[in-house]
Amino acid sequence: MWNRKKLATVIAVALSTGTVAVMACGPFFPLQMLDDRAQALASPPGNSFAFEATHWITPADALKANERDNNPYGEPVTPDKPDQASLPAAQWTALQAMRQADSDGAAYALGGTLPPALRLYTTGAVDLKAAQRCAAEAQGCVDEWQALAAQRFQAVLDLPAEQGAVRSVWAAYALGRLHAERGEQSAAAQAFKQARTLALAGASDPWGLAVSSYGEEARLYLVNAQQRCDYTDFTNGTECPNGITPANLQRAIALYAEQAARGSDIGLQSLRILAEWLLSDGDTAASVIDDPLSQRLLVAYAIGRAGDVLGENADTPADYTSNAVLKTLVEAIRKKDLQQVQGADRLAALAYRVGDYSMAQALVDKQSSALAGWVRAKLALRQGNTPAAAQAYAQASQSFPTLDNSVEPVVGAQIKGEQGVLTLSRGDYVQALDQFYMAAQIAAGGSQYSGGDYYGDMAYVAERVLTVDELKAYVDQHVSASAAPVTPAGFKDFSQQEFSTWSTQNAYPHFTQGDRLRSLLARRLVREGRVQQALPYFPEDSDPRNVDTVYDQNAEKSYLATTTARRWAKAYGDALEDAEHAWRDTTRARAWYAAATLARQHGMEIMGYEQAPDFAEFGGAYTYGAGRYSYPRNGADGKPLPRDTAEQRAVSDLPGPLVSDGERQRYAATEPQPQRFHYRYVAVEHALKAADNVPARSQAFAAVLCQATHFVQNDQERAEKVYLRYVKEGAAVAFAEDFGHQCVEPDFDAAARFPYVHAWRDARSWLRQYRYAMIALLVLGCAGLVAWRVRRKKA
């Protein structure tokens, strides 16, 4: 609403959000529906105000707003910049010199080499700047300068069309603002319409002034008998807007809607301000609802932005009051002919929100849009008719991923997610996964970021509800790997700057929701010991999306790191195979240790839980934020629920009527180890098996246990158990003083020789101890032999 400078602070207001009532599970985490299933299904339906306000009108022309380069928070823009490339250097210099002139005559004289339209328009712009100086200094010469400017702008419009085209839209727009400032409403409106006509005829309009003219023309009607109302009059609730006639308000709304429909954020925010003011009083809102567009504005704002409760402490029940205006609005519209209502499905959503369920039902009974189906589903749920609700959800979402104009994409994701909640409650687990997967895909859209809204719900069902074979069958049938981006020549040797440039030029290539679901399956299979089956579900190691920039806090610098989960998983599987089937003890020990090292170093990538306890979804950076949060809860009697068994913990973690016993049983069956970074403990168990296969007094035994202690150095109890085994069974080694911190690699070759070396050492020790007896025996033996030979000869 109004010009850019006056609206600068308003533009900073965040765009409207929809009425999504799902719960966010943390301060920085995406939305999940399964956190509060009943609330998710009962939440009022509707789109965001921004979506609605930009879809009331389908423009019949190609005019587009251009407000990005005029952003008051960005770099200043040279008005003539679009002409710089096409003008000879001398003319560009002359044009800039004109801008610095301080009088009409001086400016006009400097532009002698310029095309007539550029010369005349720029001279008029200089006159307007002079008028602004006069106004600021109260010199009383404003009218004189404005008259000169108007003459110059009109002269541009009087040029032949081909000569004036370079500045005719600019001139008409400037004339319109001059007339508006003088209170000449009719002349101003005509000038703004002329600006649009000229732009449509092909005249130059690089700054989108034709679209801006809709907003400027709308301002002409926001006047009372004495003055024009500014946007602050609406936001601050002064008396000025109260004097505007309903007819003028409706005309302004129509013009702002045209502006918003052509991509103008200023037009959108102007509609928001008007709607907020109109809905501040029920009678004021009712005064404009006989106009279909004004009615849709109020309904859209009521659904997308208006609060249900009022008061400074609206989160405290004792301190808030219901927003009666919403009910007043519905009642006022009800008094009209509901058969003629524009956007009946939107009004039905509002009626549902304020609790007028009979009106909502009447409005959607004959509607076939996705939004109407969504409202029908919620009404059926209120009536306890689950089959009808399921059917309505299916109808509402049957057009996905292609949506009709009744819902915006993010709302389409919400509908699909709610369908997943209902399906999960009915025990159709695979179908619920499919619906959450689609919801996550719709919500992600073309986002460069992984995860996103509803991904946590999808991952929960995939990891904790489906069996691994059910998940594998679903992925095999429905989720193929996305195509990897083309790897440029020399990619593996890219510097950070080269990688950053490549990423930017290729829109930051990222793995899709489907890729992430495949990786989740791969890690489940590895945890189940089915490593070979898991390998195809990991991304190809050569995929450039495996490369990312990592910051090393210790070195205080960043570097490029490549994740090769498939290669690591294969090496892990091979190590386990050798550990189970190798003949020699030390060969098995070496394999167990290799498996332990891989599990510890790359466990998150090859076997980590997507959600608790590892939270691979966030790279392990958080200890909560996705899936079901496991903590003690009280039952209906107020007493703590028991949590001694997996089944009891499932009852505690999954409360509410929308959870089936089957889901709780599956949740209990897939319960992970409670320790965060569970793969570290897997690594310890592998290391202990390695120690079992080497001599206890060998260096390898001590080194393996030292490494195992290091794996869980943050878990003092577990680390101490490993250390005590070394103390009890192992031999003294040089690194024992800082056991678990300063470790060395185990020498398995030495461990293999250890029995023979010690046998030889024992033999040598025994020989040294009994060497005289052995000599005596040898002497006696020799003497006996000699005696026997002598006797034989005599015989």
pLDDT digits (tens, 9 = 90+) for 311-357: 455 454 444 445 677 787 888 787 776 566 678 898 899 889 888 89
Separation CA 618–CA 131 (nearest Å): 59
Q: Where are the alpha helices (DSSP H) in 113-245?
A: 116-137, 142-158, 161-164, 168-181, 185-200, 209-219, 231-236
Percent of the chain with pLDDT over 70: 86
Q: What is the pLDDT of residue 630?
A: 83
Separation CA 324–CA 322 (nearest Å): 6
Q: What is the pLDDT of residue 10?
A: 31
User: What integer is the mean pLDDT of 599-603?
Assistant: 97
Q: Residue 430 pLDDT more than 90?
A: yes
DSSP, collapsed to helix, strand or coil, labels residue 428 as: coil
Residue linked to tokens 């389908």? 58
- Band of residue 587 on the pLDDT scale cut at 50, 70, 90: very high
Beta bridge partner(s), residue 551? 558
Q: What is the pLDDT of residue 30?
A: 82
Q: What is the pLDDT of residue 448?
A: 58
Query: How deeply is 227 buried, as exposed, middle or buried, from its count of CB atoms within 10 A (0-12, 13-18, 19+)?
Result: exposed
Query: How deeply is 289 buried, as exposed, middle or buried, from its count of CB atoms within 10 A (0-12, 13-18, 19+)?
Result: buried
Contacts of 714 (CB under 8 A, 6+ apart): none
Q: Residue 5 pLDDT more than 60?
A: no
Task: Classify residue 461 by its DSSP letter.
Answer: I
Q: What is the pLDDT of residue 285?
A: 86
Nearest to 344 by CA among 437, 294, 406, 259: 406
pTM beyond 0.85, yes or no: no
Q: What is the pLDDT of residue 758?
A: 58
Residues 45 and 352: beta-carbon distance below 8 Å: yes
Question: What is the average pLDDT score of the chain?
Answer: 86
Q: Residue 400 pLDDT more than 80?
A: no
Q: Write the pLDDT tens digit of every residue in 692-719.
A: 999 999 999 999 999 999 999 999 999 9
Q: What is the pLDDT of residue 452?
A: 81
- Band of residue 365 on the pLDDT scale cut at 50, 70, 90: confident
- Band of residue 64 on the pLDDT scale cut at 50, 70, 90: very high
Separation CA 280–CA 329 (nearest Å): 11
Where exactly are the structural domains of the chain? 429-563, 697-783
User: What integer is the mean pLDDT of 730-745?
Assistant: 92
Contacts of 291 (CB under 8 A, 6+ apart): 250, 253
Contacts of 202 (CB under 8 A, 6+ apart): 165
User: What integer is the mean pLDDT of 86-102?
Assistant: 93
Q: What is the pLDDT of residue 422?
A: 97
Percent of the chain with pLDDT over 90: 59
User: What integer is the mean pLDDT of 548-554?
Assistant: 83
* Buried b or exposed e, range 293-328, using 16+ CB within 10 angstroms: bbbbbbbbbbbbbbeeeeeeeeeeeeebeebebbbb
Name the least confident of 297-306, 417-426, 669-678: 297-306
Residue linked to tokens 């005029």? 70
Q: Residue 368 pLDDT more than 90?
A: no
Task: Classify residue 311 by its DSSP letter.
Answer: S
Task: Classify residue 463 by its DSSP letter.
Answer: I
Q: Residue 17 pLDDT more than 70?
A: no
Q: Residue 651 pLDDT more than 90?
A: yes
Angle at 87 between CA 83 and CA 90, to 5 degrees: 130
Contacts of 345 (CB under 8 A, 6+ apart): 363, 364, 367, 369, 371, 372, 375, 406
- In Å, how far from its chain's centre is CA 488? 28
Q: Write the pLDDT tens digit of every residue in 213-228.
A: 999 999 999 998 888 8
Q: What is the pLDDT of residue 338?
A: 58
Separation CA 795–CA 792 (nearest Å): 5
Q: Write the pLDDT tens digit of every residue in 746-781.
A: 999 988 785 655 554 555 655 566 566 666 667 677
Q: Residue 367 pLDDT more than 50?
A: yes
Q: What is the pLDDT of residue 621?
A: 83
Q: Which long-range CB contacts under 8 A does 252-255 form with residues at least 24 apart? A: 252/218, 252/219, 252/221, 252/222, 253/218, 253/288, 253/291, 253/293, 253/294, 253/297, 254/293, 255/214, 255/215, 255/217, 255/218, 255/221
Q: What is the pLDDT of residue 314?
A: 47
Nearest to 566 by CA among 649, 667, 481, 447: 481
Q: What is the pLDDT of residue 774?
A: 62
Q: Residue 547 pLDDT more than 90?
A: yes
Residues in the chain: 795
Residues 655 and 38: beta-carbon distance below 8 Å: no
Query: How deeply is 645 buried, as exposed, middle or buried, from its count of CB atoms within 10 A (0-12, 13-18, 19+)?
Result: exposed
Separation CA 543–CA 555 (nearest Å): 28
Structure tokens at 195: 């600006």
Angle at 442 between CA 345 and CA 416, to 5 degrees: 55
Q: How many CB atoms lie within 10 A of CB 572?
A: 24
Residues 700 and 694: beta-carbon distance below 8 Å: yes
Q: How many CB atoms lie within 10 A of CB 539?
A: 21
Q: What is the pLDDT of residue 72?
A: 43
- Band of residue 402 on the pLDDT scale cut at 50, 70, 90: low
User: What integer is the mean pLDDT of 586-609?
Assistant: 96
- Band of residue 399 on the pLDDT scale cut at 50, 70, 90: low
